[in-house]
Chain A
Amino acid sequence: MDYPHLEVNNLTFQRSGTKILDIEKLSINKGEFFVIIGPNGAGKSTLLRLLALLEKPSSGKLIINREVIDNSSNRLAVRRRMAMVFQDSLLFASSVFENVAYGLKARRYSKNQIGKRVRDVLVKLSISHLADRKASELSGGEAQRVSLARALVLNPEILLLDEPLASLDPPTREVFRTDLIRLVKEEKLTAVFVTQYRTEAQILADRVAVLIDGKILQVGTPEEIFNYPEKEEVARFVGCEILVPGIIEVNNEGLAIVKVKDNEIEAVTPVREGEEVIVCIRPEEITLGIDSKSEERTSARNKFLSKITQIRHNGILTKVDLDCGFPLVAVVTKKSAEELGLVKDKEVTASFKATAVHVIRRG
């Protein structure tokens, strides 16, 4: 199949006169695990509800398998080719079996077919023992498994997932995530997963779309999105804490010198001389040294004498805010921070490679 499974063209959605979504183009391929990330209020859930045909767009086209879905379409028939799992399990006040059987009953499957399919999916999700349990008696993780079973039992072409892991505790989330990937791949489903958590996108996605303020700002593989954000807003959302404006002074076959305030940073970029840019250096790419020997040991092309302006402990990691004429943030383990004796106002050398510098065109 060389056409997208799910396609959105010039889609807008307004609520009370406010434009919530404005998406020029979005294509999702068959069998793809597609993750939409964005901050709270970006319009992610609204987009998913539009894709699930639970809302009607203000304008634009939704195309599924080359079929344009409009007002004349049999929306119920199209909806029955998909299934959606929400952030909260939203189980009905009945048994687990009845919950999982719900969509099959709506489609008027025979009792035998329902029994077989429900039992099969409960086995796949390792929740057969819960079949007769009342939904209200389940733990959060169990309830969300039932919610996923309720969608998977329908054998949908497209599985839509609206932050289904958000309300789970970390260990449960991890197990659930592993099972989710396995089942989606086993069943060869097209999955659209919405989340505000970057880690989930990195783990789950074949491709990622970044949705901010109702607009898709970038679509790409997790590596492209997280290492090479194309826009300042994307860079900020994917974890580049420090974004500094600069100008390309020289570009010699891809190795450029970027003027940032009074400093020069070497960067690998195709951006041409004279262009205004934003320089983005991820905290994990920066190495800190406290003596001249450590400076010599590193092969990094960028080395800056810096002053520590703040130390922020965050679990086993420590973030170190630096001033080297422009702001930088480095991240080290708490143990390293202690060994290096990192304290406020101490002078250190911050080093990073030219390949670690990501350059974004401004505007």
Chain B
Amino acid sequence: MNLIIEGVKQAFLLLLEGDSELIQITLLSIKVSGSAVLISMSIGIPLGLLIALSDFPGRRLAVALINTGMGFPPVVVGLAVAMFLWRSGPLGFLNILYTPVAMVAAQVIIAFPIIAGLTLAAIQQLDPRLSLQALALGASRFQVLLTLIREARLATLAAIMAGFGGVISEVGAVMMVGGNIKGQTRVLTTATVMEVRMGHFAMAIALSIILMSLVFAVNYLLTTIQQKGETPWITHIWK
């Protein structure tokens, strides 16, 4: 018990002192996972829309693949990315293994199926006649797509939150393709694992507190956008 209390105390001291390594690790985590989520959104949302709104041979297979992608074990993703980026691998010439770019690539592979899959489900939940109505009011095709995303914003933002949660807390893939190199590819999760292994619980707890706070802050921000103007509709159940 003492170990935990002492660890928490030291963690707060580290946080209050503004430990430079801690700050650097935090910023890199935000940069890597933030970039990965933004890229995943720009792939996942259009892909989800496209599959939800089109009919083509193999559509069901595409949906099944995306749904499978939502459950990809990060370690397997890390292994695949590492093999591709390995010096003798197909993309070895890029020379990006053990760099933040490789970490972003791995996290994109983890996050974009989550965002695509949940966006697809969200769009399919909408009344298909909404797009007809938007067209009939003079919207262009692009405006119709934006309207549909806006109509499904609750679920689409939930998809983004799920994608962010999936990558910010992920450790296997970033460890494999980033290598946890001090000052270069060390992020909150890989650093936490390392500190625990070394018995530095105070640092590990500090890192965990930051990670949790970061996840909460981002989700709170997205939730605020998501719930803007929404009122719970099931209040009568509790009356």
Contacts and interface: CB of A to CB of B under 8 A. Distances in A.
A180 to B, nearest CB: 17
Contact of B137 (A93, A106, A134, A136): A106
Nearest to B138: A80
Contacts of A49: 132
Contacts of B133: 84, 86, 90
Nearest to B139: A106
A82 B139 CA distance: 12
B132 A103 contact: no
Contact of A92 (B140, B147, B233): B147
B234 to A, nearest CB: 13
A79 B130 contact: no
10 tightest Cβ-Cβ pairs between the two chains A and B: A84-B136, A103-B137, A80-B138, A90-B133, A106-B139, A103-B138, A106-B138, A106-B143, A52-B136, A102-B137
Interface in B89-141: 127, 129-130, 132-140
B151 interface: yes
Q: What is the interface of chain B mostly: helix, strand, loop, or mixed?
A: helix
Interface of A: 49, 52, 54, 76, 79-80, 82-84, 86, 88, 90, 92-93, 102-103, 106-107, 134, 136, 150-151, 154, 160
Given A88-B129, A92-B130, A106-B143, A79 B151 contact: no
Interface of B: 127, 129-130, 132-140, 143, 147, 150-151, 229, 231, 233
B134 A93 contact: no
B138 A83 contact: yes
B158 to A, nearest CB: 15
18 contacts: A49-B132, A52-B136, A54-B135, A79-B135, A82-B136, A84-B136, A86-B133, A88-B127, A88-B129, A90-B127, A93-B150, A93-B151, A106-B134, A106-B139, A107-B138, A134-B229, A151-B137, A154-B138
A241 to B, nearest CB: 35
Given A79-B136, A90-B129, A103-B139, 11 more contacts: A76-B140, A79-B135, A79-B138, A82-B136, A86-B129, A88-B127, A88-B129, A92-B130, A134-B229, A150-B137, A154-B137
A54 B132 contact: yes
Given A93-B151, A134-B229, A106 B129 contact: no
A160 B137 CA distance: 11
Contacts of A150: 137
A91 to B, nearest CB: 9
Contacts of A82: 136
Contacts of B231: 134
A160 B229 contact: no
Nearest to B130: A90
B136 A160 contact: yes
